[in-house]
Structure 1
Amino acid sequence: MSTDPFAPLKAAQREGWGLFSPLAAFTTPAAAMLVDFADVKSGQEVLDVACGTGVVAITAARTGARVRGLDLSPALLVDARRNAALIEADIDFVEGDAEALPYPDACFDVVLSQFGHMFAPRPEVVTREMLRVLRPGGRIAFSTWPPELAIGRLFDLVGSYLPPPAGVPPSTAWGNVETVRERLGDAVTGIEFGREEMTIPALSVRHYRTNMELTAAPFVKLAQVLADQPAKLAEFRAKVEAIVSQYYRGNRVHQSFLMTRAIKK
């Protein structure tokens, strides 16, 4: 029996994020931005935490780095392995928990995460694990959603209807630079931030909202929970569309994100 107090949450995440693959293609430009920001080099040992369909891992492998990827969702790993096989990229993808990385201490030159580690329920645990497997002088780099911008606002809206378990902070806290500084603490030096944007094509705000309810785990779950409360579901959907409309231009939803990089002492 698992002693992890958040095992039920992680089981729900494993199931919910298994539907994410249709959105993964839109994250590929952001993956290149993160790999460039992290300055991944040929020959380096690289870990992609919460790798999903492998967009970051495969982008890093194309630099000549030796890459491994880990994710909770076996469904996403099927796609990751298929994507890697298409270009004969030798990447070791494994199912696993970002809060309990199955790797020895100090075995990677670079540890990356794109919109992934931020969903681990205990920031202090996932931070400790990512830094544990990183060599001194190695670089940690990740992309997250700021709470004041499009996706952060949407995730926080979901949280107002479906709060996380007690003791779990909002994932969007990882998009606040001061929070990131505090969480990385004195284990790192040379912390730097960058901001970029990714866009999601959508025929309308309603098309975008509907697609999120089919592919993004928090939205999938909330739509299921509110299925027998039509008035509340309609209220939630109206609020989602009101937020999205502020970032919708030219048949695209503009989603800005924060990138962080730092060197392990």
Structure 2
Amino acid sequence: MAIPVTNPNKALWEQGDFTRIAATMRESGEAFVETLGIRPGLAVLDLGCGDGTSALPAARRGADVLGVDIAANLVAAGRDRARAAGLDNLRFEQGDACDLKTLPDADFDLVISLFGAMFAARPHDAAREMVRVTRPGGRIVMANWIPGDPTLVAQILKISAAYTPPPPEGFVSPILWGQEEHVVDRFAAAGIAPADIGFTRDEWVFRLNGTPADLLDLFRTYYGPTMNAYAAATKAGRDAALHAELLDLFESQNRGGPGTTEIPATFLRVTAAKR
């Protein structure tokens, strides 16, 4: 009897508890949604939604929102948050951005993905699916981390990669979604004209009533890529070096006052219009 193979992306995001990281991102999620011009009745898909950092603000503005995430624990957390907020116009379901098989064609006015679909294993498939479920005249808006960027998250991923084994053959780095030429290539293959794809750079801020070391501890304990880096570094006897490198990063980029943490991270905002 064949043993089912666990989707590595699903395993990555279920091994920790991203809700603990998401709690430091709520203000930025609210600010991002505020820019989208969401109105009552708009059909919105939040892809790679986590526990609803952007889905809840969209629903509060009256949109009919579906949040889809690959991690069962985050879908359950999102449902709990929606229930507690009394948002009956917000649903969560589990799904893979590369194959949204439960969703019909042209069903959404707006598809958003904040640091979610960028981690899908097959980026061309994810682009195709985002375009497929968007109605003509609708939009796709993504927020993606940028490779080589000097700010927090790109540097966390870069440092973590230096302490983990090489990725398997065929692996495509998620942060290539932060390079305009790759975004254009993927959406063009899915039928979006390059002229209908726009880019801006924006700032996301992680906030914590605690020190940068406290925020790093959250990433170490609950964020899949950092958890994997610490596990590999510990096995190799390099955990102290990894921790020192990351702690220096968090402390040097903190712009909060004493005992507080406020660290910005630059991201690429992608807007694709479907004709």
Q: Do Structure 1 and Structure 2 share a fold, with TM-score over 0.5?
A: yes
SS of 2:112 mapped into structure 1: strand
Q: Is the 8 A contact 1:197 1:257 kept in 2?
A: yes
Partner SS, residue 26 of structure 1: coil
Q: Distance in 2 between matches of 1:173 and 1:211?
A: 25
Matches within 5 A, 1:143-154: 143-147=143-147, 148=149, 149-154=151-156
**Deviations 1:56-106 (CA, angstroms, capped at 9, x unpaired):** 111111111111111111111222111111222122211111111120111
The partner residue of 1:71 within 69, 72, 79 is 69
Letter in structure 2 aligned against 1:246:
S
Partner of 2:270: 260
For residues 205 and 30 of structure 1, do their structure 2 counterparts lie closer, same or farther at Cα, with a shift above 3 Å needed? closer
Q: Give, in whole Å, the separation in 2 of the partners of 1:202 and 1:169.
A: 35
Aligned residue in 1 for 2:142:
142
User: Which has the higher mean CA deviation after the structures are superposed, 44-53 or 28-37?
Assistant: 28-37
Residue 236 of structure 1 pairs with residue 242 of structure 2: yes
| Matches for 1:110-259 after TM superposition, within 5 Å | 110-147=110-147, 148=149, 149-162=151-164, 163-185=166-188, 187-188=192-193, 189-201=196-208, 203-230=210-237, 232-250=238-256, 251-252=260-261, 253-259=263-269
TM-score by length of 2: 0.86
Report how many aligned residue pairs link the two structures.
Answer: 261
Change (3 A) 1:178 1:245: farther
Q: In 1, Cα distance between the equivalents of 2:131 and 2:34?
A: 20
Give the superposed CA RMSD. Answer: 2.2
Larger deviation, residues 30-39 vs 103-112: 30-39
1:100 corresponds to: 99
Letter in 2 for 1:55: T
Please, which of 79, 82, 85 is the counterpart of residue 81 of structure 1? 79
Question: How far apart in 1 are the matches of 2:176 and 2:267?
Answer: 12
Gaps of 5+ in 2: none
Q: Which ranges in structure 1 are unaligned for 5 or more consecutive residues?
A: none
Deviates more, 1:159-168 or 1:69-78: 159-168
Does the Cα contact within 8 Å between 2:180 and 2:199 map onto a contact in 1?
Answer: no
**Gap change, CA 1:23 and 1:155, over 3 Å in 2:** same
- Percent of aligned positions with the same letter in both sequences? 30
Q: Is the CA contact (8 Å cut-off) linking 1:34 and 1:142 kept in structure 2?
A: no
* 1:35 alignment partner, one of 30, 33, 54: 33
| DSSP 3-state at the match of 2:109 | strand
Distance 1:141 1:72 in 2: 19
Distance 1:3 1:224 in 2: 25
**What's the offset of the Cα at 1:3?**
9.5
User: 1:154-202 CA distances to partner (integer Å, 9 max, x unpaired)?
Assistant: 1122123223322222222222233323322251415242412313326
For normalisation by structure 1, the TM-score amounts to: 0.89
Separation (CA, whole Å) in 2 of partners of 1:3 and 1:74? 17
Q: Do the aligned residues in 2 keep the contact of 1:34 with 1:259 (CA within 8 Å)?
A: no
